[in-house]
Amino acid sequence: MRLRKASAESADSASVPAPEQPPLSGNGQPPVRRQMLGQVLIRDGILTPEQLAEAVVKQVGSDRRLGELLIEMGVADESQVVAALAEQMNLPLANLREVVPDPAVAECLSETLARSLRAIPMYRAENGVVVVAVSDPRPQLESELSTAIGGPVAIALATDQEISWAISNVYRALEGIDDQVAAFVAIHGSEAERSATSTVSDATGDDAPVIQIVNMIITQALRDRASDVHVEPQDRVVRIRFRIDGVMHDVLTLPSSMGSALTSRLKIMAGMSIVERRRPQDGQIAMNLDGRDLDIRVAAIGVIWGEKVVLRLLDKSRSLYELGQLGMNGVALDSFNKMLHSPYGMVLCAGPTGSGKTTTLYAALNAVNHSDRNITTIEDPVEYVFPSINQIQINETAGIGFASGLKSILRQDPDMILVGEIRDEDTARIAIQAALTGHFVLSSVHATDAVSSLYRFIDMGVEPFLISASVLGVVGQRLVRKTCLDCKVSYTPSPEEIEFFVKAGGNIDATFQRGEGCNYCAHTGYSGRIGAYELLTVTEEMREMLVRPSATHADLRELAIEQGMVPLRSEGARLVA
């Protein structure tokens, strides 16, 4: 496709009428009068004239772009506005879903300038013109790009989200890591065993290669949407892996000689002891990368080849979920919302590590956060800050644990208490006492499903009659990967998949889709995750069964399903459908 140069007109100029005597183009003929941006969107059925008029009124007296206002109003999405803008300005659309920008051409523009201009060089045409994808074809952008690249350019349009993805994908944070590794080996040699003094020096010098390598790894993990980074020493190498959308991915390997320096650097950043290498340690790192505040939980443990370190990345700039966005079905959502407005009792979120329990707790907290309630939380760590809620950070060295902190909270006249996690009998007993004495308690517990969480309390040593008297309900949950919306296609599942789907309660007439794999999902076919939930509402019959010594887990689960609980597998089938 032949690309034409961009006009200097911006998206805002759509509301400005063309002059009566338009200037001549390069061939001496008047240029074709373009439709306005709003007219294109109305013609395509995206906008109504009333919606356009409302946006134009909001635009008057401000420096906001018309397209930006339409997206903010929710009447058009970014891709629709960009497509209309491309038609209005007679510019092509950049297909960043299938076309990967040429890294050699992208080097014409520095990463800093690319992020500043919201532009990414894609490829060099046969005539030597560099084709650049941009999200905002503002006046003078073409000349700025031409000056920066040092030659003629042609403009193509893409959404800002697509440009952000392309920049992060092309300008890899791990680019140049081989040079840092070579510098480290040149200074210290390749021997695996080095003195503690040398290790400390490696991990603290401002220009030390290991510091650059750690920063590169964390930056790349953030750009790849990784939830966890695993630094794993092995016999001959140190393996680095990222967990993305719940799945582990090998990222790179480093020389085994770097293992102790890498671990020491991470432990120094997390405020942990670098002398102690045998017992497990936990720490925390707060940093800002790519303009985003990052909170990192660090856990170190000794393995046979050294110390393994796992980093849990928490992006504090991410938006807080509403209850309706979590993925619960309508009936379960209504029941859960009613539980949250109970004056007293306990509601639990149950699931394994990484199942989204904290996200559910925060969404629940956001739903009941009103000025007429005194809400206090005790967490480890505080992942999201609520300005109007009293939040306490666990600090074991200062004597503030879940049990001791919960005792103190009860003397603070609370209406609602959030306990980040119930891990032991002391915390469980105090939380139950709080629920029985007129407080509403919200917490999480590690368990395989909703029913199992009740038996986890019994396993901790809590009497069944206390559990039955205090617990109002339990949300069991898992996170499942979502099909990438940019490359989804219909397909026919295998007979085995159909059989499993039907057994889980799925409808055989459902239309099945999967991701083919594209640049946006790293060719996995998946992008992001959504929760699958089962909601156990504790009824009188369940309370009676729970205190009965002969009642088993299977009995209680069967009763819960009879009384309306939709199990996790059936919820998964609903999400597929």
Reported as a single tens digit per residue, the pLDDT across 340-363 is: 999 999 999 999 988 999 999 999
Radius of gyration of the chain (CA): 28
Interatomic CA distance for residues 527 and 530, integer angstroms: 10
Whole-angstrom Cα distance, residue 37 to residue 82? Answer: 10
| Residue 320: HSE in the Cβ half-sphere, 13 Å Cα cutoff | 14
Residue-wise pLDDT for 403-421, tens only, equals 888 989 989 999 999 999 9
Q: Is 376 exposed, middle or buried (0-12, 13-18, 19+ CB in 10 A)?
A: buried
Task: Using pLDDT thresholds of 50, 70 and 90, give the confidence band for residue 378.
Answer: very high
Is residue 27's pLDDT more than 70?
A: no
CA 446/CA 455 separation, integer angstroms: 11
Both tokens of residue 50? 């009333």
pLDDT band at 199 (very low <50, low <70, confident <90, very high): low
Separation CA 421–CA 566 (nearest Å) = 25
Confidence (pLDDT) at 69: 86
Query: Where residue 478 falls among pLDDT bands split at 50, 70, 90?
Result: very high
Q: Give 243-249's long-range contacts (Cβ < 8 A, gap of 24+).
A: 243/354, 244/522, 245/481, 245/524, 245/526, 245/527, 245/528, 245/529, 246/354, 246/479, 246/481, 246/529, 247/481, 247/524
Look at residue 34 and tell me whether its pLDDT is greater than 90.
no
Cα→Cα distances 417→430, 463, 536, Å: 11, 22, 21
**Proportion of the chain above pLDDT 90, given as a percent:** 50
Looking up tokens 């409302």 gives 54
Cβ contacts of residue 433 below 8 Å, gap of 6+? none
Q: Do residues 278 and 301 make contact, with C-beta atoms less than 8 angstroms apart?
A: no
What residue has token string 């395989």?
448
Kindly list the strands in the beta sheet with 416-419, ordered across the sheet, starting from the edge strand earlier in the chain.
390-393, 375-379, 416-419, 440-446, 345-351, 471-483, 526-537
Question: Concatenated DSSP letters for 288-354?
Answer: EETTEEEEEEEEEEEETTEEEEEEEEEETTSPPPPGGGS---HHHHHHHHHHHT-SSEEEEEEESTT
Token pair recorded at residue 477: 């949950």
Which of 19-33, 504-518, 528-542 has the least mean pLDDT?
A: 19-33
Statement: residue 194 has pLDDT above 60: no
pLDDT at 193: 47
* Structure confidence at residue 24 (pLDDT): 35
The rounded Cα 317 to chain-centroid distance in angstroms is 10
Question: Minimum mean pLDDT among 23-37, 53-67, 507-521: which range?
Answer: 23-37
Among 59-63, 82-86, 354-358, the least confident range:
59-63
Residue 29 has pLDDT above 70, yes or no: no
**Residues 270-328: pLDDT tens digits?**
999 999 888 999 988 999 888 888 889 999 999 999 999 999 998 877 777 888 888 89
Instruction: Specify whether the CB–CB gap between 339 and 296 falls below 8 A.
Output: no
Q: Give mean pLDDT, residues 495-507.
A: 89
Task: Return the pLDDT at 138.
Answer: 84
Element (H, E) at 231: strand 226-233
Asked if the model's pLDDT at residue 189 lies above 80, the reply is: no
**What whole-number distance in Å separates Cα of residue 352 and Cα of residue 359?**
13
Closest CA to 65 of 80, 81, 89, 46: 81
Sign for the pseudo-dihedral over CA of 430, 431, 435, 439: positive
Residue whose pair of structure tokens reads 């960043």 in the numeric block: 96
Euclidean distance between CA atoms 119 and 109, whole angstroms: 9
CB 412 within 8 A of CB 374: yes
Taking alpha carbons only, the member of 398, 399, 366 closest to residue 384 is 366
Element (H, E) at 503: helix 495-503
Question: Span 1-28, mean pLDDT?
Answer: 37
Q: Which of 366, 532, 374, 489 is nearest to 438 (CA)?
A: 374
Q: pTM for this structure?
A: 0.77
- Strands (E) located in 452-568: 471-483, 488-490, 513-515, 526-537
With a cut of 50, say whether residue 3 has pLDDT above it.
Answer: no
Q: How far apart are CA 133 and CA 154, in angstroms?
A: 9
CA terminus-to-terminus distance, the chain: 39
Instruction: Give the whole-angstrom CA distance, residue 244 versus residue 521.
Output: 10
Angle ∠(552,555,557) on CA atoms, nearest 5 = 110
460 in Cβ contact with 507 (< 8 Å) = no
Long-range contacts of 40-44 (CB under 8 A, 24+ apart): 40/84, 40/87, 40/88, 41/70, 41/76, 41/80, 41/81, 41/84, 44/80, 44/84
> Which pLDDT belongs to residue 21?
36
Give exposure, 74-90, as e/b (b: 16+ Cβ within 10 Å): ebbebebbbbbbbbbbe
Q: Is the pLDDT of residue 152 over 70?
A: yes
pLDDT at 188: 75
Q: What is the pLDDT of residue 33?
A: 53
Residue-wise pLDDT for 207-260, tens only, equals 589 999 999 999 999 988 899 999 999 999 999 999 999 999 999 999 999 999
Residues 440/344, Cβ–Cβ less than 8 Å: yes
- What burial class does residue 27 get, using C-beta atoms within 10 Å of its C-beta: 0-12 exposed, 13-18 middle, 19+ buried? exposed
Handedness of CA 395, 397, 401, 406 (dihedral sign): negative
pLDDT at 206: 54
Residues 6+ apart with CB under 8 A from 405: 378, 392, 394
Between 129 and 5, where is the model more confident? Answer: 129
Question: Residue 515 pLDDT more than 90?
Answer: yes
DSSP 11: G
